[in-house]
Amino acid sequence: MSDADPITQGLMSPGAPFEVVSQGDIRVFKHAPDNMSAVFDRARSFGDVEFIVSGERRLSYDAFFQAADHLTSWLLTKQKIKAGDSVAICMKNSPDWMIAFVAIVNAGAVAVLINSRGTGAVMARAISDADCVFIIADEKRLSKLKEAGCNLPVIMPSDFPNEGAEFKIPTRSSDDLAAMFFSSGTTGTAKAAAIQHRALITGMMNTQLAMAAVFSKMAAAYGIDVETLRSQMPQGCSLLVFPLFHTSGCSAVFLTALAMGGKLVLMERWDADTALALIEKEKVTSFGGVPTMHWDVLRSPNFKKYDLSSLMAISCGGQALPINLLAEIRRAFPKAFIGAGYGMTETCGAISQANGEAFLANPSASGHVLPMVDVQISDDEGKALPLGAVGEIWAKGATLMQCYYGRPEDTAASFSGPWFKTGDIGRMDESGYIYIVDRKTDMVISGGENIYCAEVEQALSRHPGILQVTTFGIEDDRLGERLIASMRLISGTSLADIESFAKENLADYKVPTDFVLQETPFVLNAMGKIQKHLVRKDYLDIKQKEQAA
Sheet holding 313-316, edge to edge: 57-60, 50-54, 263-266, 237-240, 286-289, 313-316, 337-344, 349-355, 368-369
Average pLDDT over residues 313-330: 82
Residue partners of 331: CB distance under 8 A and separation at least 6: none
8 A C-beta contact, residue 187 and residue 529: no
Q: Rounded to an integer, what distance in angstroms lies between the CA atom of residue 20 and that of residue 2?
A: 14
Please give the pLDDT value at position 341: 87
Q: Rounded to an integer, what distance in angstroms lies between the CA atom of residue 328 and that of residue 279?
A: 18
Across 214-237, b (16+ Cβ under 10 Å) vs e yields bbbbbbeeeeeeeeebeeeeeebb
441 pLDDT higher than 80:
no
Q: Rounded to an integer, what distance in angstroms lies between the CA atom of residue 301 and that of residue 352?
A: 35
Distance of CA 66 to the CA centre of its chain: 28
Please state the CATH superfamily assignment of the domain spanning residues 446-548 in this structure.
ANL, C-terminal domain (3.30.300.30)
Average pLDDT over residues 141-166: 96
* 13 band by pLDDT with thresholds 50, 70 and 90: very high
Average pLDDT over residues 210-237: 85
Q: Which of 110-114, 173-177, 296-300 bottoms out in mean pLDDT, i.e. has the lowest?
A: 296-300
Q: Rounded to an integer, what distance in angstroms lies between the CA atom of residue 492 and that of residue 498?
A: 12
318 pLDDT higher than 70:
no
Stronger pLDDT, 286 or 439, i.e. the higher one: 286
DSSP 44: G
Report the half-sphere exposure of 101 (CA within 13 A, side-chain side): 28
185 pLDDT higher than 70:
no
CA distances from 265 to 189, 249, 280, 310, 421 (A): 32, 12, 12, 14, 35
In 3D, which of 246, 191, 250, 177 has the Cα closest to residue 423? 191
Q: Taking the model in full, what pTM does it have?
A: 0.84
448 pLDDT higher than 50:
yes
Q: Rounded to an integer, what distance in angstroms lies between the CA atom of residue 201 and that of residue 171?
A: 16
CA distances from 509 to 55, 128, 267, 450, 503 (A): 52, 46, 44, 9, 10
Q: Rounded to an integer, what distance in angstroms lies between the CA atom of residue 197 and that of residue 83?
A: 13
Q: Which of 85-89, 296-300, 333-337 has the highest mean pLDDT?
A: 85-89
Q: Which amino acid is present at 90?
A: C
Stronger pLDDT, 280 or 482, i.e. the higher one: 280
Taking only the tens place, the pLDDT of each residue in 381-400 is 999 999 999 999 999 999 99
Please give the pLDDT value at position 187: 43
Across 333-345, b (16+ Cβ under 10 Å) vs e yields beebbbbbbbbbb
Question: Strand, coil or helix: what is 393?
Answer: strand
Taking only the tens place, the pLDDT of each residue in 349-372 is 889 998 888 888 888 888 899 999
Average pLDDT over residues 195-200: 97
Residue partners of 350: CB distance under 8 A and separation at least 6: 203, 206, 207, 252, 341, 342, 343, 367, 370
- Per the rule left: phi > 0, alpha: psi between -120 and 50, beta: everything else, 447 is left
Q: Rounded to an integer, what distance in angstroms lies between the CA atom of residue 505 and that of residue 323?
A: 14
DSSP secondary structure of 325-364: HHHHHHHH-TTSEEEEEEEEGGGTEEEEEEETHHHHTSTT
DSSP 159: G
What H or E segment, with its residue span, contains residue 377?
strand 373-378
Backbone angles phi, psi at 260, to 5 degrees: -110, 5
CA 266, 268, 274, 276 torsion: positive or negative?
positive
Residue partners of 287: CB distance under 8 A and separation at least 6: 238, 239, 241, 275, 279, 311, 313, 314, 315
Taking only the tens place, the pLDDT of each residue in 473-510 is 988 776 778 999 999 999 899 999 999 999 998 888 89
Q: Rounded to an integer, what distance in angstroms lies between the CA atom of residue 361 and that of residue 363?
A: 6
8 A C-beta contact, residue 84 and residue 175: no
CA distances from 51 to 64, 101, 265, 280 (A): 8, 15, 9, 17
Taking only the tens place, the pLDDT of each residue in 74-85 is 999 999 999 999
